[in-house]
Amino acid sequence: MCRILKKFLIVALIAALFLVQESEGAAALSKGIPDNDTTATYSGISPPKYNVELGYIINGSEENPTPCDNPASDASCMTTLQASEDSVLIRYAVKPGYSVNKTSTIRIQMCYGPDNIVDRPWRKFDNVISENKQCGFDLVTNLSPEGEYTYLVTENAPSSVYFIQVLEVCDDGTYCSFGNSTYFNVNQIEDTPSWLMGITGALAALGPLSLIGFFLVEHKMKKN
């Protein structure tokens, strides 16, 4: 009996480690660039100074569809990208009436659409830019104040509707302007079969119970 429990415990622990690895992979997109400015707010640097236009590379071909202002995933205007296969072409420039600050740099983030943050406090919008969990995916930083950037959608990007946010970082390190794009959809590739994830989750959940059972049996055997 003791040997059986030991074997079951080992399997459960392996399953738990597998799930941790999967979750870490999914979190690989989370913010990785430190915020030098921890006090700037969106309202404080509004209105947005930047235009952010999107194009896409889908199945190797460049497309420039009509921008989609509707955040619903089933909107007729929505473009859907396949994770690890398709790319977003991000073109950013200051709006007419504004001047380019040549000493500034640009930071680009990918943000969840409004429908994809409802009842998800870990994706909650915050007016303080450095605390805004809605825009939790850093793509690149230190870009020129106007230009273009191509982002290959990583395989770990969760299936969701997104938009792109451009943040202008002034030469003193503070956020001084921003701009948001329209919406696009990402379809994540699921490499792990659902049946395997179900078995793994069950074993991981039973791991703590197995551990308790193992110690109880071992304690009883020692008494006898």
What global pTM score does this model have? 0.75
Instruction: Give residue 136's pLDDT band: very low, low, confident or very high (50, 70, 90).
Output: confident
Asked which of 65-79, 144-158, 208-222 is least confident by mean pLDDT, the reply is 208-222
How large a percentage of the chain has pLDDT more than 70? 70
The pLDDT tens digits of the residues spanning 155-168 come to 989 999 999 999 99
Give the torsion sign (CA, 150, 154, 159, 162): negative
pLDDT value of residue 18: 41
